[in-house]
Amino acid sequence: MEAELAALAASGATTLVGLIVSESWERAKSGLGRFFRRSDGPADDGEEELRATRDALERARATGDVRGEERVHARLRQRLADIFQTEPGAAEELARLLAALAPDTSHTFVNLVSGGVNHGPVFQGSHIHGGITFTVQSTAPQPATGPTVRPDQVPAVTVRFSNRHAELATLDATPGTAPVSVDVLDGLPGVGKTAMAWQWAARARERFPDGQLYVDFAALRDQTTPLTGPGADVSEALAMCLRALPGGDLALPDSLAERASLFRSRTANLRLLLVLDDVNQPRQVRALIPKGPGSAVLATSQSRLAELAAHDGARLISVKPLDAHGGLELLRDRCGPDTVEAERAAAERLVDLCGGLPVALQVVAARLTTDDTLTMAELADELDDESGRLAGLALEGEESAVSTVLGPSYRLLPPDAARLYRLLGWLPFGVFDAGVAAVAAGTDTASARRLLGVLKKASLVEALRDRRFRMHDLVRLHARERAAEEEPPTEPTALARRVGGHYLALTAYADRALRRERLRTADLSDLLSDADDPFAAPGGPAPLEWLDAERPAILAILRMAVRHGLHTLAWQLAEAFTVLFLYHRYLGAWRESLELGIDAAAAAAATADTPGELAEATAGEARLRALLSRPLLDLGETHRAGEHLERAVALAETTDRLDLRASVQEFLGRYLDVVDPPRAVEAYRRSLALNEQAGETRGVALATFFLGSALDARGDHAEAMALLRRARSELEGRAEPDHRMAARVTAAIGVVHGHLGQMEDGIRELGDAVRVLGGVANGTAYEAQARERLADLAERAGGRTALVRECLGRAADIHEALGDEERARELRRRLDGLDGGA
């Protein structure tokens, strides 16, 4: 009974929150005021209570204050729980009142009170974060040389696979004499193309000794936001594959053409299988054809990509819906041969009603195996009627079979599982863990796992090997359709707040786990005080690997938050998310996330209610604009980088954040290093002075390093040496030492020694830098740069041909692995020109 009251109170509070901000509020507030006044209070107490609640809610929504809105919800929930506890008829009274005053927004609560189905309660406590409940596969970059892990990325088929014997035999047959085979499976959504590709990858494993790569293009495409530019999905797919191959992803080329060239180089001597799921353009396949003889590409597509057959020699294999024999075979596998043979005619009707689509037949089989009282004939009669009644709800074309099957299965779900099903349809991605599901539904993780188990038994979600879950695209469409019909109109925004807050907390913890000392403008202390830190737990996931694995989901949530006007949440997430791109430079995604964050921060500032809110949003915009200069410079958009930095400087100067102003000046200096080197020195001096004034010792060390390097470049070697030694001492002596940055400073010190004619000292310092960089960041451009400088100094000093040869050879290897083939060739030509070379 106590749990029921809690559920009623939670659902009632959600309904009231939606009503308070709706156009129906003025008409409803008097009646609700009387309800809240009850019998023992002054006449206007109820309306005053609701007025204060509305004011608090509007303030929270205007500023994107997720916790503020949840506090309002929590107070309403507790208030209703107290009323329902002391007055048994109060819930029915409120349901009648809401049904009369706001029928469009109250049906969930009304149906819950009256015992209706499919309208589970919204259970929200204080800020809930479901944690991380899936296994993060290692995405750490591989060294430029040395042993690598054989990629094995194609997911496993988790249920028994039957049928498709002819299609699999076609794939088994090696086509013609082409060194690399390309096959494309085409067919309707839900027809089983993906399962067939996964199944063939498993049975052909021994053909590809160098491994299997997998790209899901559906996951790379945002369903509601256009791609940021032509070829963005192909470029990202190439990056995903390159990260799994020898050489890793360190300093990947930025352009699509360079990535494609590097992919061909790295695969030239490998025998690989690439499975490309849900492609919709020939270019997505063409760019990912490996060069190694004996390799193969297997793609799935809803379209028949005839251009690939005409120009690339691809085999096009159409995957049709199952015929009667194939459909019966699937039912035999799931339900048992005796069950099918006992009602063969009814089983054939079920296959026909499902249109031969495996995704629909699996749901039918789940119904039959979980309900011992249901016969195949009864289910066929039910679906036969359903196909007529759901004609208006049918999905496009031959996909209508899925709606026909899902309608009855959905209505049989318990209310809480049905609500989770609906809300999962609104997620901007199709793969999620139990923690995300818990936050989406506003429940705890254990309950979410239980509900996901219910959906899994009904074949509405699929359990993956890494403890995550996947909802088929057609099932998601049905779930989204039901959500739009049955959930309150305020629920999409509420879900975006919950899931966005979840990802903000986890991303912020990952950011802090990677480096505590980084400058941050968002104050997330309240948010993080209520959330567990999974990265600090024993055996917890590696933060950088988690960020990399969740990158598409975080970017999708960021877009979702912007669409729903959650300005503060969006810019704070963009700021925390940028830590990933400081390690892995996905320039397109980095630029998009920062641009979204900048717009959100500006909107948050424009709608701020207090000076504190205005100051924080302004600081956030300045920080994000300064950060945006980094990917813009790397992308060659120098003019735009300068425009954003000019605005960042102006915004930062309006704040009292000395640390922010110092950081912006540092970014300005790095921009000026490219466009106007003499002016860079002054920017670094301003950054240094502001950092010292703010007491930011790490900022002092970084500004000192960049200033020293800039002074050395203009010929002030003595001052540069003093500054660089100071910077190195500070970086090495910190409580959280930054060994990689200190090694970069050491390399700069070696260069200054060379400029001062101190060859032996320079060789020693550069040698130390190379050893450290090779240990903490093996294979990076920083190591290659240090080795080239060491080779230069050793060659000038004379008598060290072996050292020069070693450094140039290793630097060439790194550049080649990182895709800079032109630089690698230059270094190899230099090697050939050494005495005794060739």
Quick check: 594 pLDDT over 90?
yes
Higher pLDDT, 417 or 227: 417
Q: How far is residue 437 CA from its own chain's centroid?
A: 15
**Residue 109: its pLDDT value, please?**
65
| Structure token pair of residue 237 | 């797919």
Dist. CA 591–CA 599, nearest whole Å: 12
Quick check: 798 pLDDT over 80?
yes
DSSP string for 307-370? HHHHHH-PEEEE-PPP-HHHHHHHHHHHH-HHHHHHTHHHHHHHHHHTTT-HHHHHHHHHHHHH
| 464 C-beta neighbours (distance < 10 Å), count | 16
Quick check: 224 pLDDT over 50?
no
**Residue 58: its pLDDT value, please?**
77
In this structure, of 338-342, 558-562, 563-567, 689-693, the range with the lowest mean pLDDT score is 338-342
Quick check: 400 pLDDT over 70?
no
Question: Sorting pLDDT into bands at 50, 70 and 90, what band is 4?
Answer: low
Mean pLDDT of 466-482: 84
Of 690, 686, 721, the C-alpha closest to 705 is 721
In this structure, of 56-65, 141-150, 406-415, the range with the lowest mean pLDDT score is 141-150
Mean pLDDT for the chain? 82
Cα distances (angstroms) measured from residue 600 to each of 527, 604, 618, 621: 19, 6, 11, 8
Question: Sorting pLDDT into bands at 50, 70 and 90, what band is 162?
Answer: low
Q: Is 517 exposed, middle or buried (0-12, 13-18, 19+ CB in 10 A)?
A: middle
Cβ–Cβ < 8 Å for 584, 514: no
Residue at 83: amino acid letter: I
Cα distances (angstroms) measured from residue 196 to each of 163, 184, 277, 354, 658: 9, 12, 11, 19, 59
Q: How far is residue 486 CA from its own chain's centroid?
A: 28
The phi, psi pair for 666, rounded to 5°, reads -65, -45
**Residue 49: its pLDDT value, please?**
82
- Angle among Cα 616, 621, 622 to the nearest 5 degrees reads 100
Question: Sorting pLDDT into bands at 50, 70 and 90, what band is 96?
Answer: confident
Question: Sorting pLDDT into bands at 50, 70 and 90, what band is 42?
Answer: low
Torsion of CA 16, 18, 22, 24, to 10 degrees: -40
Strand-pair partners of 470: 431, 462
Question: Sorting pLDDT into bands at 50, 70 and 90, what band is 835?
Answer: low
In this structure, of 73-82, 174-183, 573-582, 606-615, the range with the lowest mean pLDDT score is 174-183
Higher pLDDT, 467 or 758: 758
Mean pLDDT of 706-727: 94
Higher pLDDT, 20 or 123: 20
Q: Is 612 exposed, middle or buried (0-12, 13-18, 19+ CB in 10 A)?
A: exposed
Q: pLDDT (tens digit, 9 = 90+) per residue, 481-494? A: 889 989 999 999 99
Q: pLDDT (tens digit, 9 = 90+) per residue, 186-202? A: 877 777 888 888 888 88
Cβ–Cβ < 8 Å for 380, 346: yes
**Residue 783: its pLDDT value, please?**
87
**Residue 36: its pLDDT value, please?**
81
- Give me the helices (H) in 607-716, please: 611-634, 638-653, 658-675, 677-694, 697-713
Tell me what percent of the residues of the chain surpass a pLDDT of 70.
Answer: 83
Q: pLDDT (tens digit, 9 = 90+) per residue, 748-786? A: 999 999 999 999 999 999 999 999 888 765 446 788 899
**Residue 105: its pLDDT value, please?**
54
Contacts of 22 by beta carbon, 8 Å cutoff, 6+ apart? 102, 105, 489, 490
| 97 C-beta neighbours (distance < 10 Å), count | 17
Quick check: 565 pLDDT over 80?
yes
Cβ-count burial 714-731 (b if 16+ within 10 Å, e if not): eeebeebbebbbbbbebb
The model's pTM: 0.70
Higher pLDDT, 167 or 495: 495
Q: Where are any strands of DSSP class E within 749-824?
A: none
The phi, psi pair for 54, rounded to 5°, reads -65, -40
Sign, Cα dihedral of 65, 71, 77, 83: negative
Q: pLDDT (tens digit, 9 = 90+) per residue, 599-611? A: 999 999 999 989 9
Query: 640-645: long-range contacts (C-beta < 8 A, 24 or more apart)?
Result: 641/671, 642/671, 642/675, 644/598, 645/671
**Residue 139: its pLDDT value, please?**
43
Question: Sorting pLDDT into bands at 50, 70 and 90, what band is 156?
Answer: confident
**Residue 2: its pLDDT value, please?**
52
Dist. CA 760–CA 797, nearest whole Å: 8
Cα distances (angstroms) measured from residue 269 to each of 63, 90, 242: 56, 74, 14
Q: How far is residue 200 CA from its own chain's centroid?
A: 28
Mean pLDDT of 691-708: 94
Quote helix, strand, coil % in the chain, to nearest 5. Answer: 65, 5, 30
DSSP letter assigned to residue 463: E
Question: Sorting pLDDT into bands at 50, 70 and 90, what band is 309?
Answer: confident
Quick check: 144 pLDDT over 60?
no
Strand-pair partners of 651: none
Dist. CA 52–CA 154, nearest whole Å: 55
End-to-end Cα, the chain, rounded Å:
86
Mean pLDDT of 273-291: 87
Higher pLDDT, 362 or 122: 362
Q: pLDDT (tens digit, 9 = 90+) per residue, 53-82? A: 888 877 776 665 656 766 777 788 788 888
Cβ–Cβ < 8 Å for 483, 422: yes
Higher pLDDT, 230 or 498: 498
DSSP SS3 for 372: coil
Of 325, 330, 397, 385, the C-alpha closest to 353 is 385
Quick check: 712 pLDDT over 70?
yes
Cβ–Cβ < 8 Å for 661, 703: no
Quick check: 427 pLDDT over 80?
yes
Question: Sorting pLDDT into bands at 50, 70 and 90, what band is 147?
Answer: very low
Question: Sorting pLDDT into bands at 50, 70 and 90, what band is 635?
Answer: confident
Quick check: 119 pLDDT over 50?
no
Tell me what percent of the residues of the chain surpass a pLDDT of 90.
Answer: 35
Question: Sorting pLDDT into bands at 50, 70 and 90, what band is 136?
Answer: low
Question: Sorting pLDDT into bands at 50, 70 and 90, what band is 518?
Answer: confident
Mean pLDDT of 328-343: 88
Quick check: 389 pLDDT over 60?
no
Contacts of 659 by beta carbon, 8 Å cutoff, 6+ apart? 519, 690, 691, 694, 696, 699
In this structure, of 167-171, 266-270, 801-805, the range with the lowest mean pLDDT score is 167-171
| Structure token pair of residue 617 | 């949003």
Cβ–Cβ < 8 Å for 807, 785: no
Question: What does R_g of the chain's alpha carbons equal in angstroms?
Answer: 31
**Residue 145: its pLDDT value, please?**
43
| 333 C-beta neighbours (distance < 10 Å), count | 16
